[in-house]
Structure 1
Amino acid sequence: MSPASIIDQAFAPAAQSIAHGNIPGAVLGIVTADGQRAVCWKGMAQIEPHEESLARETWFDLASLTKVIFTTTAILKLVEEGRIALDDPLVKAIPDLRQYDMNAAERRLTFRQCLAHQTHLPAVEPLYTYGQNPDTLRAFVLQREWRSGPPVYSDINFILLGIAIERITGKPLSDQPLPEHFSFNPEPRLCAATERCAWRGRVIRGEVHDENAFALGGASGHAGLFGTIDGVLDFAHGLLDGKILLPQSLNAVRTHESEKRTVGWEGFYPGWHGGDGCSPTTIGHTGFTGTGLWLDFKRGLAWSLLTNRVHPSRHKDSGIMDLRRATGERVIALFEGRD
């Protein structure tokens, strides 16, 4: 079945979630390896302090989709250019990492380990509570003796990778080249609102929701990227048809480094956020603000569900996990003519 023939039915779980008041709005996009695409949207880009309708052109805070769309791809491009290798230690790019202790565990971390979240670093740290000077916070990240623990999904991994990209390229993340329909500095009036932030004292719109990314200057390796549904679908199509990454890099993002993780992405596992109908060759990732992207390479199919589920507050049960799973299972069933 073509994306155009299934998009309305595939959007039904999101439409129901909007109708029940679980999320303000959503946009669903589907694209195939041969370039067919379809998009459906409904609901509000903002409900506070005043209402504004969502459109196909609405920009979303992609949150942790930054990790896969920007950071992972940028690192793999640097590998393809021969400037680093995946198994090089981060100190090849950041020689001052833990520079006061040459035996520090952080100095042995590799690009591959950080990309696949196979490090001892913690999941998250409230860096923004230490101040808002981006240079000082970067120095803090580099020199802190991080508490050791088992491998977990860690924002710190990708903050370090973002610093590495800046060091290798000589450009801050905010000045890195981006494809059309992506930006670290979007026009606020074009964006979906996120949270009424207690720390910043306002509804967040057009500036990154993630507090640490905001304190680091708005662009970080773990969050800060904004994009439209068509930008995300362009990226997905480029991975499906092999035009964004060389075969060796594409193989890296498709190969499990652990039960759940590949290089940069999550790989399919039973019960995951993409739905159990996905083939074992599926990779995906989600973002805290309510975003997500999945690519089923066996079927030559990708879909993205972008929502503003944290607007006006993250402190509610939006049912986003169930919505993501229901959407993925419905997309696949309709695509195969089973629904």
Structure 2
Amino acid sequence: MIAAAFAPAREAIAAARIPGATLGVVSADGRRWVTHSGMAALVPEPEPLTLDHWFDLASVSKVIATTTMILRLADEGRIDLDAPLTSAIPDLRQYDMAAYERGLTFRDCLAHRTLLPAVEPIYTYGDDPARLRAFVLQREWKQIAEPVYSDINFLLLGIAIERVTGAPLGAWPLGKGLSYGPPPGPAVATERCMWRGRVLKGEVHDENCAALGGQTGHAGLFGTVAGVLDFAQGVLTGAFSDAMLDAIRTPQYAHRTCGWERKFAGWSGGQACSDETIGHTGFTGTGLWIDFDRGLAWTLLTNRVHPTRHFDSGIFTLRPATGDAAITAWEAL
């Protein structure tokens, strides 16, 4: 099964579009298939990829960590998803009580239904994490015409979690094989960063996350294939309450649920999966998808930005091809 599902990734590696890839598939009944190929690093020293390597999960952090934390806090009655962020961050835009940002709710940010911009180079404003957090909270963000997927939404959610729990995000129990960096084992290399002047390996790729201290709501989580699969299997087998499951499966805005995407035409998970499939991708070349109808989840972990993001890795066709191949192989069992 796993060989057929891995065929698109193996072709991408052979064509030198990506250095390496790991694919893991898990079913609700506990069956698990994992394979890998290629290189964890090409430069400065070649390093073969193993199943023990940690990947920078990039924006997959948003669903495995931040969304789960927010929904757990809501489940415990510590926050209300439909309350404004100011219930946790009273100093948000504190110099303008009528500011747009002060009316945003947790659910708005989870579903990316705000008018906040997609991203901004926050790291260019300084290198003091506390000061940059203050900048995020006090900045008058330029409102865009209609909602887009926004890192700023999840930066705010991460700060809210820190305020409610009184601890950094890394203090949250994430489970074996998941950790904010630096990871406790061998890491795949990502980009030769122009800002930091080196190939990144075991340190977060996202510049804003790095400048903010490496633990933010939008990025910073590292994971092994086993850690990601353990999380996905937990979602399929009862780790989430009914309310949490409802939140991640129910559309909130267009194809977005609380944190996740649902299947839609042309999405990253392919078209062979059921309509009850959710997923999320990460800029470094990672992704996780969960098909509730089939009781099946798969993760494709690559280092497609190594040694540079400025290259057509083909990741946007590789992901759906892998999803379709995984479902086809599953149906053939």
TM-score after normalising by structure 2? 0.98
The alpha carbon displacement at 1:173 in A equals: 1.9
Q: How many residues align?
A: 332
* Structure 1 unpaired stretches of 5+: 1-5
Q: 1:331 is matched with which residue?
A: 326
Q: 2:231 aligns with which of 231, 235, 238?
A: 235
The yes-or-no answer on 1:220 pairing with 2:216 is yes
The yes-or-no answer on 1:28 pairing with 2:23 is yes
- 8 Å contact 2:183–2:202 — kept in the other structure? yes
* Structure 2 unpaired stretches of 5+: none
One-letter identity of the residue aligned with 1:158: F
Q: Distance in 2 between matches of 1:93 and 1:177?
A: 21
Q: Distance in 1 between matches of 2:169 and 2:229?
A: 22
Higher mean C-alpha deviation, range 174-183 or range 88-97: 174-183
- 8 Å contact 2:36–2:49 — kept in the other structure? yes
| CA deviation vs aligned residue, 1:193-230 (integer Å, no higher than 9, x gap) | 00000110000000000000000001110000000000
| CA deviation vs aligned residue, 1:166-191 (integer Å, no higher than 9, x gap) | 00000012333321111112347600
Q: 1:97 is matched with which residue?
A: 92
Secondary structure class of the residue paired with 2:298: strand
Q: 1:147 is matched with which residue?
A: 142
The yes-or-no answer on 1:288 pairing with 2:283 is yes
Q: 1:17 is matched with which residue?
A: 12
| CA deviation vs aligned residue, 1:205-264 (integer Å, no higher than 9, x gap) | 000000000000011100000000000000000001122x10011011001112220000
Q: Distance in 2 between matches of 1:185 and 1:158?
A: 18
**Change over 3 Å in CA distance of 1:36–1:188 after alignment to 2:** closer
Secondary structure class of the residue paired with 1:29: strand
- 8 Å contact 2:28–2:233 — kept in the other structure? yes
Secondary structure class of the residue paired with 2:189: coil
Q: 1:3 is matched with which residue?
A: none
One-letter identity of the residue aligned with 1:238: G
The alpha carbon displacement at 1:278 in A equals: 1.5
- 8 Å contact 2:52–2:224 — kept in the other structure? yes
The alpha carbon displacement at 1:8 in A equals: 1.0
Q: 1:195 aligns with which of 167, 191, 196?
A: 191
| CA deviation vs aligned residue, 1:6-41 (integer Å, no higher than 9, x gap) | 001111110000000000000000000111101000
| CA deviation vs aligned residue, 1:67-113 (integer Å, no higher than 9, x gap) | 00000000000001000111011000000000000010100000000
Q: Superposition pairs for residues 63-102 of structure 1, below 5 Å?
A: 63-102=58-97
Secondary structure class of the residue paired with 1:204: strand
Superposed CA RMSD: 1.0
Secondary structure class of the residue paired with 1:283: strand
Q: Distance in 1 between matches of 2:30 and 2:252?
A: 30
Q: 2:169 is matched with which residue?
A: 173
- 8 Å contact 1:242–1:250 — kept in the other structure? no
Q: Distance in 2 between matches of 1:213 and 1:306?
A: 20
Secondary structure class of the residue paired with 1:304: strand
Secondary structure class of the residue paired with 2:152: helix
Secondary structure class of the residue paired with 2:201: coil
TM-score after normalising by structure 1? 0.96
- 8 Å contact 1:188–1:205 — kept in the other structure? no
Higher mean C-alpha deviation, range 178-187 or range 318-327: 178-187
Q: 2:301 aligns with which of 298, 301, 306?
A: 306
- 8 Å contact 1:97–1:107 — kept in the other structure? yes
- 8 Å contact 1:27–1:40 — kept in the other structure? yes
Q: 2:270 is matched with which residue?
A: 275
Q: 2:312 is matched with which residue?
A: 317
- 8 Å contact 1:124–1:154 — kept in the other structure? yes
Q: 1:159 aligns with which of 155, 159, 162?
A: 155
Q: 1:210 is matched with which residue?
A: 206
- 8 Å contact 2:60–2:280 — kept in the other structure? yes
- 8 Å contact 1:192–1:308 — kept in the other structure? yes
Q: Percent identity?
A: 64
Secondary structure class of the residue paired with 2:25: strand
- 8 Å contact 2:56–2:284 — kept in the other structure? yes
Q: Distance in 1 between matches of 2:183 and 2:281?
A: 23
Higher mean C-alpha deviation, range 233-242 or range 176-185: 176-185
- 8 Å contact 2:17–2:314 — kept in the other structure? yes
